[in-house]
Structure 1
Amino acid sequence: MSKRKQPDETSRTAPAQDIRVFRGVEAWVFDLDNTLYPAETDLFSQINDQMTSYVAQLLDLGRDEALRQQKAYYREHGTTLRGLMLEHKVDPDAFLAYVHDIDYSGVAPNPELGAQIAALPGKKYIFTNGDRPHAERTAAALGITEHFEDIFDIVAAGLLPKPNKETYELFMDRTGVSPVRAAMFEDLHHNLEVPHRLGMRTTLIVPEGTREVFREDWELEGAGAPHVDFVTDNLTAFLKRLNGTLKAG
């Protein structure tokens, strides 16, 4: 019987990298949804359902057709919101309030994740295509709020979502983060393309059960792409290994 791989040694391997490349990193940038908490937490699926309901009501569509339209906006424009803004002049504040009106009780505190984030040398940021109130509620539920310097949300980005290059530039201008001394953790590979080009170390988070929850195959392509330095299905375990390497010198 073959030896079972550890959680951060998935079969979906990224290009071979030495984890010591994280030495010298001074800024640690984390996406929020399905990155700081796993997809099976059933949080983003609630947001997804809310977006479908919003599209159905706005365009007077059945739920299946509304879901197809929602995903079309997402694929074409980066977020459903941006598609609705461009094509239907939707009020972004009303949309964000509606889709984030969800139940956070399923988000369990994760003290070990918090400890590993706290142990990383330098500043830590949340960089999300969601809004700040959602990020604040989620971080509070996880018990990790105190470890972050700031939250850069879709409103701070001028409602222009990742993976647009201008959004990353706005983030760096606001925070003073130098990309060559930064690392980014994301659950969507295409959101790592620009950071990689700018010099960031990149890690793709691929939670167990992702395909079965709500994600589409096209979103999971690219796990072995050159712009993905590392792949893990367990962020806490990966950070623990990373911190151990950094401490070892």
Structure 2
Amino acid sequence: MTARCLWLFDLDDTLHDAGAFVFGALHESMGAYVQRELRVPPEEADRLRRLYWLRYGATLLGLVKHHGVKPAHFLHETHLLPDLEQRINGHRHDLAVLRRLPGRKIILTNAPRAYAMRVLQALGIARWFDAVVTIEDMAMFGHLRPKPDARMLRALAARLRVPPSRCILVEDTLQHQKAARSIGMHTVWMQRFGRRGSPVRARRQRWTMQPAYVDRTIGRLAQLLPAGKHWPTSLGNPLK
């Protein structure tokens, strides 16, 4: 086992601005999918999509549990996004930090593999990651267990032969970070893209908070270099 840390990077709204195109397009494609497959009107489709997102952390999990939807079919149909490559918006100079960041680097995303690889190729950063872990890889006992499932995160660390204390999750979603911290992982809250898309009042209330399970907040990847200098003393230096 390497002595260096293992970086777990989320994808959407962490490494690129998913709010600029992807999230809106997925909202439409998922709504259309639910209408078509469940044969319900738009209002009911939207209600179910939101309900399952809040209850299970992912619309897909609710559709599988309550309607027998096949995960592969849902993921394929909703993530076709024909204009994706032309609409991806990242910051090239900031993304270049990934190449210099010490330690192993892995993508950990609830998105499907085909979509994730298209985004990474469009950003030109696929070669800087040791592996890409997508929702298809987050199955336990025959059921999908995407983020924020702490059991999945613990199993992933074991599979990668790295103790959770050597893992650093860089992520825009607080719920996912809370789960990571519950098993001993370090956490970095990426605020760059989410903060820009929030209303002014929401920015003041949400983005200035510092939950106990968040080790650091950043607005750009360059703030991770040199990462060891910025970690709380109580946590030690995860790069040693």
State the one-letter code of the partner of 2:198: R
Tell me the SS of whatever aligns to 2:155: helix
TM-score (normalised: structure 1): 0.78
Task: Work out which of the residue numbers 145, 153, 158 in structure 2 matches 1:160.
Answer: 145
CA deviation vs aligned residue, 1:150-193 (integer Å, no higher than 9, x gap): 11111111121111112102321332232111211111101011
Map Cα deviations across residues 186-219 of structure 1 (whole Å, 9 max, x no partner). Answer: 111010112212222211122233336xxx99xx
CA distance in 2, matches of 1:119, 1:81: 36
Is 1:83 matched with 2:68?
no
Contact kept? 1:116, 1:236, Cα under 8 Å: yes
Matches within 5 A, 1:125-144: 125-144=106-125
- Structure 1 gaps of 5+ residues are 1-23
Of 194, 197, 211, 1:210 maps to 197
Compute the displacement of 1:241 (Å).
Answer: 6.3
2:204 matches 1:225: no
1:106-127, CA deviations, whole angstroms, 9 ceiling, x for partnerless residues? Answer: 1146432332111111100011
Structure 1 residue 243: Cα displacement: 8.0
AA at the equivalent of 1:89: G
Instruction: Kindly report the root-mean-square deviation, in angstroms, between the aligned alpha carbons of the 2 structures.
Output: 2.6
Aligned equivalents of 1:157 and 1:55: distance in 2? 23
What SS does the corresponding residue of 2:111 show, helix, strand or coil?
coil
Contact (CA 8 Å) 2:52, 2:61: kept in 1 or not? yes
Q: How many Å separate the matches in 2 of 1:174 and 1:75?
A: 29
Residue 64 of structure 1 deviates from its aligned partner by: 3.3
Q: State the AA in 1 paired with 2:6.
A: A
Give 1:195's aligned residue.
180
Q: What are the equivalent positions in structure 2 for 1:6-21 lying under 5 Å apart?
A: none
Letter in 1 for 2:94: L
Instruction: Provide TM-score, normalisation by structure 2.
Output: 0.81
Q: After TM superposition, which residue ranges in structure 1, 4 or more long, deviate above 4 angstroms?
A: 220-223, 243-246
- 1:14-60: per-residue Cα shift (whole Å, max 9, x none)? xxxxxxxxxx7511111111111124432232122211111122223
- Residue aligning to 2:233: none
Equivalent positions of 1:54-203 (< 5 A) are 54-102=33-81, 103-104=83-84, 105-108=86-89, 110-158=91-139, 159-203=144-188
Which one has more relative contact order, counting CA pairs under 8 Å at least 6 apart?
A: 1
